Chain A
Amino acid sequence: MLMIRQAWRNIFRNIRRTVLTCTLIASSLVVIILVDSIINSMAGLMVKGITETIEGEAQIYHSGFRDQFDPELYISDPKSIISKLDSDDEIKTYASRVIVPSMIGSSYNSDGVILYGVDAEKELNTSRLQSAVIEGDYLTGSDRELILGRLIAEKLEVGIGDRIVITSSEINTNQMIQELFRVSGIVQFGPKELDEGFAFINLSTAQRMFNIGEGVHQIAIRFNNPELANSPDLDIYKTLPSDTLEAKGWLALQPGLGAILEMTGLSTLIMGVMLFILASLGVVNSIFMSIYERTYELAVSKAIGTRPSGIASLVLLEGLFLALISCFFGIIITFILGIFLQENGLPLGHMEFSGVAFPDNLPVKLTLDQFVNFPFYVVLLTLVAAIYPAIFAARIIPAQAVQKAL
């Protein structure tokens, strides 16, 4: 206890130095927690942006469809799959889709789009299609209605009620087909790629138009627990796939996103290591200054019988207290900043990355583990930084130190 008291009081012998050192360590802690939160929030938004906009958290499709994007690779009889999905407790919702590249034309212009035939009711909980409608109405099930992305609508110079002609080819026979639609709604998802390249009609219309009976190209799935989406142990990943079917979570569907997430984790680690190395240098400097100032005192302690390990322990305890004080204030500052950023977001301006549009004010979410893990690392690294000065102090030779001090 006496050594603990001594170490604690030693911390406050030079308050200015202690404040500066603690400020350095606490600042590093604040920065690393906030950077981690921002990166996590961006990563979370990217994942949500991709999984909630259209893709879903997992997909079932005909083998090869995603690689070749060949409309002929469709699931001709989705009923058995759908009954499995209906009976699976892990699955929150799903939506079947027909997906065919088509030409879209208006009186003024024409362009290529990915035409989605969607189940309007199922899409309500599976994608953001309904909430993305900025003009007109969502699909009602009527045969001639069509929803267009905002940018393609502008390109085609059409508005609500205007006529649109879809030109494509029947899937099985490759015969050219043309259908007339009227623009019933205009959507804006955010990413340019979606807003200028997608058009949506009703699923039954698409099935009839492409003459595929009840066939679908894709079943997008969302789970009650989205964390499960990439678990290879899920029943749908193990039981559904066959020679003709594939079922994959979003990480397998979007390997690029997985790489980005991995990179963000690595960048946080690199930044954290650099910050803590800088902070550690500050700690080493501060403790060395403290040791130099009381070399004679430490020498006397050693002379009267304190073992070298006792001297080293004292210095390490001082490092520990510096770290604990720094973490205490670092956590308070981070908490206050975190609450502000959670409520107001981080103003980044309009930003789009990897097909995901971020909101102007990025919502920053702090988690409990950040307030536990990072301070733990700070304490650990501060102690590691204090080892060298502690060994130095333990090696002070009393007679030499006494002579130098005198």
Chain B
Amino acid sequence: MSNVIEIQNLTRKYGKGVAEVIAVNQLSLNIEYGEFTAIIGPSGSGKSTLLNLIGGLDNSDEGQILLAGNNLASMSGKKMSDFRRDHIGFIFQAYNLIPVLSAAENIEYIMLLQGISNAERSKRVEEMLHLVGLEGLGNRRPSELSGGQQQRVAVARAMASEPEIILADEPTANLDSKTGASLLDMMKGLNEEKEVTFVFSTHDEMIMKRAKRLIHLRDGSIERDESNTNA
């Protein structure tokens, strides 16, 4: 299996002089297509920074990231936006749906950016709503949905653009354990069924148990990289 993510000697620093913090320190990592990986570690270990760097939301100070064979450092703002749109799905801790758009419109939004035809968008919105178990709720605004339902819409939105990789930053942090487990089962199902690569940044025990690979970070470096045979 080939690598969807190849990271070499990645470093990201914040601040200057005595206030300098090395969030990610000379980190190298490969993730293959179809993996269900969790990046774990204590607060401040660099999980979210690493996820932001992989997602092209932040720029590294040293090293390089190849995502689906593309060097992120070589991309300008517009090209980077298009690349994220077409290759990466994001799921955030606080759902982050656009509140003035309905669930269906939130899912449709990214496809609109991709220039997908109206008919195709409508078809895929229905498919996605079905996939995340929200049939019939497409017209509801985020404020009319529960936290779990909103996060399902966020997953559907991330899946709608048919990305190679989905980056999920603490996706279950704001959910109760039952809803979180249900959401996780759904994402695991999508990973197995659609072979989408999932990379989580998390503290959640449930995700750690289900992830096939656990990457332990400490002070911006990989402390341990292990396969989870029980997942």
Contact of A2 among B84, B93, B96, B112 (CB under 8 A): B112
A302 within 8 A of B: yes
B90 x A303 contact (CB < 8 A): yes
A404 within 8 A of B: no
Q: Bound complex: CA of A360 vs CA of B158, how far in Å?
A: 71
- Once A13-B100, A399-B52 are accepted as A-B contacts, the answer to whether A5 and B57 lie under 8 Å apart by CB is no
Measured between beta carbons, the chain A residues less than 8 angstroms from B35 are none
Contacts of B52 in A (CB 8 A): 398-399, 402
B113 CB to nearest A CB, Å:
5
How many residues of B are in contact with the other chain, CB < 8 A?
Answer: 31
Of B26-34, B74-82, B131-139, B215-223, the one contacting chain A is: B74-82
The distance in angstroms between the C-alpha atoms of A398 and B55, with both chains bound, is 10
Tell whether B161 is near chain A: CB-to-CB under 8 Å.
yes
Indicate which residue in B78, B92, B101, B161 contacts A307 across the interface (CB closer than 8 Å). Answer: B78
A256 → chain B, closest Cβ, in Å? 58
B98 proximal to A (CB < 8 A) = yes
CA A303 to CA B157, docked complex, whole Å = 12
B105 contacts partner chain A, Cβ-Cβ < 8 Å: yes
Q: Which residues of the other chain, B, contact A406 by a CB distance below 8 angstroms?
A: 93-94
Nearest CB of chain B from residue A173's CB, rounded to whole Å? 93
A304 with B157: in contact, given A2-B112, A399-B58 (CB under 8 Å)?
yes
Q: B124 to chain A: which residues have CB within 8 Å?
A: none
| Shortest distance between the CB of B152 and any CB in chain A (Å) | 16
User: At the interface, is chain A mostly helix, strand, loop or mixed?
Assistant: helix
Q: B161 to A305, Cβ gap below 8 A? A: yes
Tell me the residues in window 389-406 of chain A with beta carbons closer than 8 Å to chain B beta carbons: 397-399, 402, 406
Interface residue SS majority, chain B = helix
Q: B99 an interface residue at 8 Å Cβ cutoff?
A: yes
Query: For residue A7, which residue of chain B has the nearest CB?
Result: B100
Interface members, chain B 96-142 (any A CB < 8 Å): 96, 98-101, 105, 108-110, 112-114
Of all chain A residues, which has the CB nearest B96? Answer: A300
Asked whether, in the complex, the Cβ of A2 is within 8 Å of the Cβ of B100, the reply is: no
Evaluate contact between B78 and A10: CB separation under 8 angstroms.
no
Q: Which residues of B contact A398 (CB under 8 A)?
A: 52, 57
Contact of A6 among B98, B113, B114 (CB under 8 A): B98
Q: Mark A251-267, 1 if CB is under 8 A from B, else 0.
A: 00000000000000000
- Asked if A210 is at the interface of the complex by the 8 Å CB criterion, the answer is no
A198, CB-defined interface residue at 8 Å: no
A49 at the interface (CB under 8 A from B): no
| Given A304-B84, A304-B90, residue A9 in contact with residue B100 (CB < 8 A) | yes
Instruction: Determine the distance from Cα of A326 to Cα of B67 in the docked complex, in whole angstroms.
Output: 48
Task: Name the distance in Å between B63's Cβ and chain A's nearest Cβ.
Answer: 17
Known pairs A2-B105, A5-B105, A399-B57; A302 contacts B81 (CB<8 A): yes
Bound complex: CA A13 to CA B93 (Å): 23
From A5, A296, A303, A397, B101 is in contact (CB under 8 Å) with: A5
Tell me whether A300 and B84 are in contact (CB under 8 A).
Answer: no
Say whether A296 contacts B96, CB under 8 Å. yes
Contact of B90 among A6, A9, A297, A300 (CB under 8 A): A300
Q: Is A301's CB within 8 Å of the partner chain B?
A: yes
| Interface check A231, CB cutoff 8 A | no
The answer to whether A402 and B82 have CB atoms under 8 Å apart is no
A300-337 at interface with B (beta carbon < 8 Å): 300-310
Interface centre among B58, B82, B94, B96 (most CB of A within 10 A): B96
Residues 3-43 of A at the B interface (beta carbon under 8 Å): 3, 5-6, 9-10, 13
| A308 & B109 in contact (Cβ 8 Å cutoff) | no
| Alpha-carbon distance A310/B115, docked complex (angstroms) | 13
Residues on A with C-beta less than 8 A from B212 are none
Q: Residue B86 at the A interface, CB < 8 A?
A: yes
Closest to B89 in A: A304
B57 in complex: contacting residue of A296, A303, A308, A309, CB < 8 Å:
A303
Interface positions of A from 270 to 312, Cβ below 8 Å from B: 296-297, 300-310
Q: Are B57 and A297 in contact (CB under 8 A)?
A: no
Q: How far is the CA of A398 from the CA of B82 in the complex (A)?
A: 14
Instruction: Indicate if B13 sits at the interface (CB-CB under 8 A).
Output: no
Once bound together, how far apart are the Cα atoms of A302 and B56, in whole Å? Answer: 11
Which 5 A-B pairs have CB atoms at the shortest separation, nearest pair first?
A305-B85, A9-B100, A399-B58, A399-B57, A300-B96
- Interfacial residues, chain B to chain A (CB-CB below 8 A): 52, 55, 57-58, 77-78, 81-82, 84-86, 89-90, 92-94, 96, 98-101, 105, 108-110, 112-114, 157-158, 161
Q: Show 7 A/B contacts (Cβ-Cβ < 8 Å), sorted by A.
A: A2-B105, A6-B105, A301-B109, A303-B90, A304-B85, A398-B57, A399-B52
